[in-house]
Structure 1
Amino acid sequence: MTAHNKQPGTWSKLLRYCRNHIPVVLIALLSAAAGTVLTLLGPDQLSEMTDLITQGIATGIDLDAVASIGFFLVIIYGISAVLSLSQGLIMSSVTQKVSKRFRSDLSHKMNRLPISYYNKSTTGDILSRVTNDVDTIGQALNQSVGTLVTALSLFVGSIVMMLKTNWIMAVTAVVATIIGFGLMAVIMKKSQKYFQSQQEYLGKINGHVEEVYTGHTVVKAYNAEAQMRGAFEDLNHNLKNSVFKAQFLSGMMMPIMMFIGNLGFVAVCVVGAVLATNGDISFGVIVAFMMYVRFFTQPLSQIAQAAQSLQSASAAGKRVFEFLEAEEMTDESRKTVQLEAATGKVKFEHVQFAYEGTDHPVIKDFSTEVQPGQKIAIVGPTGAGKTTLVNLLIRFNELTGGEIYIDDTPISSLTRENIHDQFCMVLQDTWLFEGTIRENLVYNQTGITDQDIQDACKSVGLHHFIQTLSAGYDTVLNDKVNLSAGQKQQLTIARAMLKNAPVLILDEATSSVDTRTELLIQQAMDRLMEGRTSFVIAHRLSTIKNADVILVLKDGDILESGSHSELLAKNGFYAELYNSQFEQAS
């Protein structure tokens, strides 16, 4: 994204975002304005009708003329209603199209953002931008823009008609409402910051609820309900205060406008009575002005409501555009190098990595070479950089120095999608979506047969269990199907087997299973790793005794490397780690 010294405002961005719909919106707004103008012709005609009736009381009422005016009023009010209805239909259609585009763009944006963005953002806050904030913008566009145009047209039109009818009474009405505009401007300025904090706290509270819900078993196990409730109450209290202040300040607008409107109504009645007594105006003019004053004061409360809604939309729009304008992963459309099927040779050459915004490197100067088909175990204390190293290999994170090669091809010259095709992964945190067991196993792959699926599940010891389920492999995984942590892990391992990629990444893949299941999985893994380069991140050192090479990481550097027996013979850091685990196990 290109940086600008002066970023355009939220409404400027929103206008640009909706530019394809602007011609249609203008038609809708012109329809609203035209309908309002037609409505304003009513009082003038009613004034004539009133004068015809009052003058005809003594001499006889001209019923044909009264009927003619009445028929004209029915026509203009009918046309006005049709135009207003058209405006409503057009704005509803445009709003839904804009909301749909927002949701689509946000969805596509999620796939273009780097992993680092999600590491510093809560899931609930992102979901709040996609749902709450987009809905707020949609409601404002649908309800407030048309209302604002109608109200402004009614306001300006009534001033014009009042000046045309009698300037003295018009000035009286205008002066009485100037105070209202002043108060409204002050309130709008004060309330905007509270509308902004309202949307922010809404995102934070969604993030907190999502976090506590997904980890509710841990919360209960540690009796942390009170602590979590306290954090929720703080957020809820802040949200309540922000909403209260925003709504209170904006809610003051209507009572103030009603008071000012009624004050103008009284002033016009008094001045009108004086002018009529002096013979300067007819009774029909007073009747017309009664309606004009209502048309003049009514928009003030509508403008106040529309302003409140548009302030919420502005705050929501700011959050949505912040997400849409977040820095994306670099564009790789120009890359032409393609790795069809890697043999599995991997080389790390002076690899360095530090997280954005920090000077402390996680990987300092890492170099090693892995031959095709080798099983590489990566061990070390927490924070040594084991998972980071794998994330760099699969380009979930970008290198800050050095290079990684797959089959002598630098990964920086390959697209991320091409790199991901070379890997199958089994992570410590299992991920299954709501769908059938078959869909979870095949996941975004083609050419997988039922026999392939069954063979993979037999390899991990899950086939018999799946057959006992009501629908077998077509059983939908949801809250009603209780899978153990081990069974979920077995499914993800079977999924990795079915991908059949040349390089395998296992991140503590057997950490959630019992000893018997671990033995089954370990045997399946041994078959899976045949002929494949495998990177195994392990905390239980007993699971990696048969690794070709064990890399011992500490503080981002390779402290030791070699086979299990070689490293034990050295009696160094690995031996210390292994013996400490063995002592704990015994």
Structure 2
Amino acid sequence: MTDDSTTDFFAPVRGSLAGIIALSVVGAASSVVPFIAIVELARILLPAASGEPIDEARAWTVVIVAVAALVVAVSCAFLSGLISHLADAELQVSLRRRIIRHLQQLPLGWFGRRSSGSVRKLVESDVTALHQLVAHSIQDVLTAVTVPVVSLVYLFATQWQMAVAALVPLLGVAVCYPLMMRGAGEKYQQYDEATQSLSGATVEFVQGIAVVKRFGQLGRSHRRYRDATKRYVHFVDEWTRETAIAFTVVELICSPVTALLILLSAGAWLVSAGLATPIDILPGVVLGLGLTAPFIKLGASGQFLRNAAKARRALSAFFALPPVSQPVEPQTTEGADVAFDDVSFSYDGEHRVLHDVAAACAPGTVTALVGTSGSGKSTFAKLVPRYYDVDAGRVAIGGVDVRDLRSRELYRDVGFVFQDVQVLRASLRENIRLSRPDATDAEVEQAARAAQIHDRILRFERGYDAVLGDDANLSGGEAQRVTIARALLADAPVLVLDEATAFADPDSEAAIQKALSTLAADRTVLVIAHRLHTITGADQILVLDAGRIVERGTHAELVAANGRFARMWAEYQSNHARTLPEGAAR
């Protein structure tokens, strides 16, 4: 099920949000009462200086009301802050669980087109960015509205001229702020781009500094970082200059000193004109000073609110991604043969990557896919485990369309090992056991032995309990053998293999090849071949070009046909004559 409405974000904390709103309004209104009490006490006590009697009962009533309002204001602020932070924690947990559930439902191809950093941004950065909305912004906004409204209502009820004077700074902000924020949308976008560029250049420079120093290219590598820094500084400097005057004006208008000068000037004029007494202007002076402070606090939260709004849009777009479809009437495979029936596929719905591809992979055979970069061989292989769904035709296992299999059954039938090794910061035992969480320790060890990684694991002090990144560090080839052990433990009858030795070091290649031989035994194997000498014994080789199968046959048949594969083989022999295993070049 997909989630289309962003309002669902707050469904788990909707009751808490109502409580936060109520407490914030009551607390903000109560915080004004003590200032009103000061004015009323002044009205009661100041006449005593001229000998008039004091209404003690009324004075004590005002004091009691002020103290009670202060207690209410502090209590509401405390409870509102407590509830808002508890609600924020609940929302973050709810969203992270929802993200994980949605990630589990997305097609595997979605992950292949994105880095782990983009997924981490969703789970961590974007969810955390919503903290400001729930934990702080509701209180800030309601305070910024309630305090001025309550103050102005009282002022208009007691001395409307001072109420008008108190509005002058707010009207000044209302005029200047739009001028200051003119074109801000485009500027914020440019700021984000400059920040991302600087971040990317910094990471690239730091990660590659050892290599570039070794080869004497430090200046060239540093240039991109330096240029990105200059662009960022230039942009920020230019934007600051453009908004400096308006920003300074807004700060001056919102300053308590400015508000005090305006209020005192208005009060002095009213008293001198005989329109008010000194006690009449006191409410305006006391309450008018507190009107601009909430707006200043709200303005300071603008960047946090913008980040939260961006995070909300990103999460909305993520939850709108359609999950991989599940069959209404799921079926079960009978056999391990794989068939491609007139398959066509495109990533964007317009530009086809595969065109009417047809192929059959018999149980217990090895089918190799070869072709130049961009020929479609990786896409072809990834259709079997439903990294993507075909636009036309079908991919079938045991006579059943993969779209008619539940995901659990599909991954029980199909195992895959690709070049981009994925290991977790967990024990080696748990890394291997990922494919079968209920596997015994003996079964894990057996898979590791077959994958040629058992002896290496035992060299760690904690052996299989060693945690990657803490107690254990593996080379690329060693990590690849851990993923092969994982695939062996799954024991799936169909295997999709992106030749794992393509970038392996010479010491690891032999061990990986031996492990792969064990893995491929008695399985239907579809292998993407980069090193042609590794597939000379394949049962069939499919040669792809521009998304079409242009040749098929055994190695000997294709070489004898003197076609595209024969030319690829001759070129491969020429380029790798010194490194080919004995007999492979014959």
TM-score where L is the length of structure 1: 0.86
Instruction: Name stretches of at least 5 consecutive residues in structure 2 with no aligned partner.
Output: 579-586
Checking the alignment, whether the CA contact within 8 Å between 1:140 and 1:313 is kept in structure 2 is: yes
Residue type at the aligned position of 1:422: D
Q: Does the 8 Å CA contact 1:346/1:369 hold for their aligned counterparts?
A: yes
Q: Is the 8 A contact 1:457 1:463 kept in 2?
A: yes
What's 2:134 paired with?
Answer: 141
Alpha-carbon distance between aligned partners in 1 of 2:6 and 2:541, rounded to the nearest angstrom: 55
1:337 aligns with 2:328: no
Alpha carbons 1:552, 1:561 under 8 Å: kept = yes
Query: What is the match of residue 413 of structure 1?
Result: 404
Give the counterpart of 1:107 among 100, 106, 109: 100
Q: Relative to structure 1, is the Cα distance of residues 403 and 26 closer, same or farther in structure 2, using a 3 angstrom cutoff? A: closer
Aligned to 2:79: 86
Q: Residues 431 and 173 of structure 1: is their aligned pair in 2 closer, same or farther, counting only changes over 3 Å?
A: closer
Deviation of 1:434 after TM superposition, in Å, equals 1.2
Deviation at 1:96, TM superposition (A): 2.4
CA drift of 1:479 comes to 6.0
Q: Which runs of 5+ in 1 are unaligned?
A: 5-12
Change (3 A) 1:509 1:19: closer
**Quick one: structure 1 residues 510 and 210, their matched pair in 2 at CA, closer, same or farther if it must change by over 3 Å?**
same
The answer (yes or no) to whether the contact 1:196–1:315 under 8 Å persists in 2 is no
Match of 1:191 in 2: 184
Greater mean alpha carbon deviation, residues 176-185 or residues 197-206: 197-206
Q: Which residue pairs with 1:36 in the alignment?
A: 28
Instruction: Tell me the residue number matched to 2:525.
Output: 534
- The answer on whether the counterparts of 2:499 and 2:529 sit within 8 Å (CA) in structure 1 is yes
Shift in Å at residue 357 of structure 1? 5.3
The aligned residue for residue 9 of structure 1 is none
The answer to whether residue 37 in structure 2 is matched with residue 45 in structure 1 is yes
Give yes or no for contact 1:378–1:535 (8 Å, CA) kept in 2: yes
Pick closer, same or farther for the CA change 1:236–1:93 going to 2, 3 Å: farther
Instruction: Answer yes or no: is the 8 Å Cα contact 1:380–1:386 preserved in 2.
Output: yes
Instruction: Provide the C-alpha distance between the structure 2 equivalents of 1:319 and 1:165, rounded to a whole number of angstroms.
Output: 49
Match of 1:10 in 2: none
Letter in 1 for 2:37: Q
Aligned equivalent of 1:328, options 322, 328, 344: 322
| Cα distance in 2 between the residues matched to 1:106 and 1:177 | 42
Question: How far, CA to CA, are the matches of 2:219 and 2:112 in structure 1?
Answer: 27
Cα deviations across residues 382-430 of structure 1 (Å, max 9, x unaligned)? 3322222111122112212222221111223223442222122222232
Per the alignment, in what secondary structure is the counterpart of residue 368 of structure 1?
strand
Residue 8 of structure 1 is matched in structure 2 by: none
Q: Corresponding residue for 1:259?
A: 253
Percent sequence identity is: 25
Counterpart of 1:316 in structure 2 is 311
CA contact (8 A) 2:205 2:225 kept: no
Deviation of 1:136 after TM superposition, in Å, equals 2.8
| 8 Å contact from structure 2 (residues 162, 281) kept in 1 | no
Distance in structure 2 (CA, Å) of the matches to 1:94 and 1:41 = 29
Distance 1:116 1:212, change over 3 A: farther
- 1:349 is aligned to 2:348: no
| Residues 243/124 of structure 1: CA separation in 2 closer, same or farther (3 Å cut) | farther
Q: 1:556, CA displacement in angstroms?
A: 2.6
Deviations 1:522-541 (A, max 9, x none): 44444443322112222222
- TM (norm. structure 2) is 0.86
Residues 178 and 293 from structure 1, CA distance in 2 versus in 1: closer, same or farther, beyond 3 angstroms?
same
The answer (yes or no) to whether the contact 1:136–1:313 under 8 Å persists in 2 is: yes
Classify the secondary structure of the residue corresponding to 1:393.
coil
Map of 1:572 onto structure 2: 563
RMSD of equivalent CA atoms: 3.5
Q: Are residue 273 (structure 1) and residue 268 (structure 2) matched?
A: yes
* Distance 1:164-1:328 versus aligned 2 partners, 3 A rule: same
Q: Distance in 2 between matches of 1:507 and 1:36?
A: 63
Distance (whole Å) between structure 1 residues aligned to residue 509 and residue 301 of structure 2:
63
The answer as to 2:62 corresponding to 1:69 is yes
Q: Structure 1's 472 and 136: CA in aligned 2 closer, same or farther, altered over 3 A?
A: closer
Is the 1:350–1:367 contact (alpha carbons within 8 Å) kept by the matching residues of 2? yes
Contact 1:195/1:242 (CA < 8 Å) preserved in 2? no
- Is 1:250–1:304's contact at 8 Å kept on the other side of the alignment? no
> What do the CA deviations read for 1:478-518 (whole angstroms, capped 9, x no partner)?
16633222222222222221111111222212334466754
From 266, 284, 299, give the equivalent of 1:304: 299
Give the aligned partner of residue 584 of structure 2: none
Q: How does 1:135-534 map to 2 (within 5 A)?
A: 135-175=128-168, 177-188=170-181, 190-199=183-192, 202=195, 229-233=222-226, 245=239, 249=243, 256=250, 258-259=252-253, 262-277=257-272, 280-307=275-302, 309-325=304-320, 327-332=321-326, 334-339=328-333, 342-356=334-348, 358-359=350-351, 361-478=352-469, 481-513=472-504, 518-534=509-525
Contact 2:417 2:497 in 1 (8 A): yes
TM-superposed CA distance for 1:208, in Å, is 6.2
Q: How far apart are the structure 2 equivalents of 1:567 and 1:469?
A: 47
Letter in 2 for 1:104: R
Cα distance in 2, alignment partners of residues 542 and 131 from structure 1: 45
Contact 2:342 2:392 in 1 (8 A): yes
Question: Aligned-pair distance for 1:71?
Answer: 3.6
8 A contact 1:486–1:514 mirrored in 2? yes
- Contact 2:484/2:519, CA 8 A, preserved across alignment: no
Aligned residues: 574
| Contact in 2 for aligned 1:204/1:235 (Cα 8 Å) | yes
The residue type equivalent to 1:69 in the other structure is V
Does the residue aligned with 2:311 lie in a helix, a strand or coil? Answer: helix
Pair 371,54 (structure 1): closer, same or farther in 2 beyond 3 Å: closer
The answer on 1:27 being equivalent to 2:19 is: yes
Change (3 A) 1:423 1:97: same
Work out the CA distance in 1 between the residues paired with 2:564 and 2:17. 70
User: Mean Cα displacement is larger for which, 449-458 or 61-70?
Assistant: 61-70
Give the CA deviation at 1:158: 1.2
1:16 and 1:247, CA in 2 relative to 1: closer, same or farther beyond 3 A?
Answer: farther
Q: Distance in 1 between matches of 2:500 and 2:318?
A: 34
Contact 1:130 1:320 in 2 (8 A): no
> 1:15: how far off?
4.5
Deviations 1:99-118 (CA, angstroms, capped at 9, x unpaired): 33333333333334445545
How much has 1:248 moved relative to structure 2?
8.4
Query: Equivalents in 2 of 1:215, 1:415: separation in Å?
Result: 44
Take 2:510 and 2:110, find their aligned partners in 1: how far apart are those partners?
38
Shift of 1:149: 0.7
User: Distance between the aligned counterparts of 1:457 and 1:524, measured in 2?
Assistant: 9
| In 2: Cα distance, 1:515 partner to 1:496 partner | 23
- Is the Cα–Cα contact under 8 Å of residues 352 and 365 in structure 1 kept in the other structure? yes
CA distance in 1, matches of 2:153, 2:174: 18
Aligned to 2:289, what secondary structure does the other structure show?
A: helix
